[in-house]
Amino acid sequence: MAALDKLLGIPPALQDTVTDLTSEFTRREIRSIEREVERLERLFPQVRFGIVAAEVPANATLALYAFWLFNRGGLTAATERGSQNRLIMLALDPKAGRAVCMIGYGLEPFVSEARLISALHAAFPALSADQPGKAVVSFLHEMERQLAECSSELNRAFGIGDFEYQGLAHFLDSEEAASVVY
């Protein structure tokens, strides 16, 4: 990381959810992306998302720059290291029409490269049409599908049946309540 710090300098200040260093997103697009991220983080509370739009410096590739931002940009707390880092970061360079996705170590055993590629492929048509906001939303929608499939596969692997979440009220008013109270 020291070599990257020397090459790239001081990392830009990144926001929690959406950082647009290119000014490519409209305020409406940023709000839409933030709402979508909030929805996904409620659906998958163990996962966090970070979206970064930046023009990649001439002395770096997008993948290298994204790796540096992922590790130096402050998107995760000091306590979210190693297996506790469950961040999914989409980094895009809208002017170049390119995007890359990085995940924290805590997701690597569960979210395959093929799942990430699928989400990136979903973003590509809008990104190549110079619609970065739409590209991010397409990425997030496909990432939701991929995480849902991953979750379902894990449930099957551990013998947990598929169930529909019915909320706490269902358990409080049913015979099943005793099974969830300790």
Give the domain ranges of the chain: 2-158
What pLDDT shows up at residue 153? Answer: 81
d(CA 103, CA 41): 15
Question: Of 59, 1, 64, 50, which Cα lies nearest the Cα of 21?
Answer: 50
What pLDDT shows up at residue 97? Answer: 94
Give the list of residues 6+ apart from residue 110 with CB closer than 8 angstroms, or none: 150, 154
> Which residues of the chain are under the pLDDT cut of 50?
165-174, 176-182
Q: At 16, list the tokens.
A: 């929690």
User: HSE (CB half, 13 Å, CA atoms) of 158?
Assistant: 7
As a whole number of Å, the end-to-end CA separation of the chain is 46
What pLDDT shows up at residue 160? Answer: 73
147-165, pLDDT tens digit by residue? 999 888 877 777 776 555 4
Question: Of 61, 54, 98, which Cα lies nearest the Cα of 75?
Answer: 54
- Specify the pTM: 0.82
d(CA 156, CA 47): 20
| Residue at 14: amino acid letter | L
Q: Which CATH number fits domain 2-158: 3.40.1390.10, 3.30.70.60, 3.10.310.50, 3.30.390.10?
A: 3.10.310.50
What pLDDT shows up at residue 107? Answer: 92
